[in-house]
Copies of this chain bind each other. A is one copy, B any other.
Amino acid sequence: MEIAVLGTGMVGRTLAGAFVELGHEVAMGSRSRDNEAAAAWSAEAGDRASHGTYADAAATAELVFNCTAGAASLAALAAAGSENLAGKVLVDVANPLDFSQGMPPSLFVSVTDSLGEQVQRAFPEARVVKALNTINHLVMVDPGRVSGEGDVFVCGDDEDAKAQVHELLHGLGWADEAIIDLGDISAARATEAYLLLWLRLMGALGTADFNIKVTR
């Protein structure tokens, strides 16, 4: 599958690398065609890896991952171009973190909205799925590195899009029963708000290398 990964940070590089290893063609998108992090990543990742602008990456992709910083996501997706997102599965991994008041960050959305919904509203023809935003990048692509594993949450308005993301997550090592569908895109409020707990847990545990498992 041709996948665009927008964003050159740790999340983007880790996911992009994992998808290349799984045999996908991955284009990393960033603000400029000569972004050093993206160029270095694609040179190292081999033949199935490429890089370009947000629009370059999204144009040929079948599926797009938003791995940009939450505060920059809407601008990055606008640069990618609504025409390059229309009809495609758009996996929103970003979190609406607000660092303006110090650490730990808060959120720049209220409890009655979410970045996932903002993305869906801004790009109504994209099929937005919120996923993977509740875990560290290392755990995203290697759920078993956490003893006892844990769960990953998906939500979105398009059932077929969620099914495609489920398959991709399965490919990354997530067991079917660990992939929990929370419903429509408004459930992004829940997984983004959970970040507040994730951040406190990171402080209490002294590591980002953890997850949560729903026990029943």
Contact = CB atoms under 8 A, between A and B. Distances in A.
B216 A146 contact: yes
Closest 3 CB pairs of A and B: A148-B215, A193-B193, A190-B197
A200 B147 CA distance: 25
Which size class do A's interface residues fall under? 35 or more
A140 to B, nearest CB: 14
Given A190-B196, A194-B197, 10 more contacts: A110-B111, A149-B215, A190-B197, A190-B200, A194-B194, A201-B214, A205-B216, A209-B216, A210-B215, A213-B215
Q: Is the interface of A mostly helix, strand, loop or mixed?
A: mixed
B111 A111 contact: yes
Given A110-B111, A189-B196, A197-B193, A204 B216 contact: no
A150 interface: yes
A215 B110 contact: no
A196 B195 CA distance: 11
A157 interface: no
A215 B146 contact: yes
B197 A207 contact: no
Given A106-B112, A111-B110, A193-B194, A183 B210 contact: no
A212 interface: yes
24 contacts: A106-B112, A109-B111, A110-B110, A110-B111, A111-B111, A111-B193, A146-B216, A148-B213, A150-B215, A153-B197, A183-B200, A183-B203, A183-B204, A187-B200, A190-B199, A190-B200, A193-B196, A194-B196, A194-B197, A209-B216, A210-B214, A212-B212, A212-B214, A213-B215
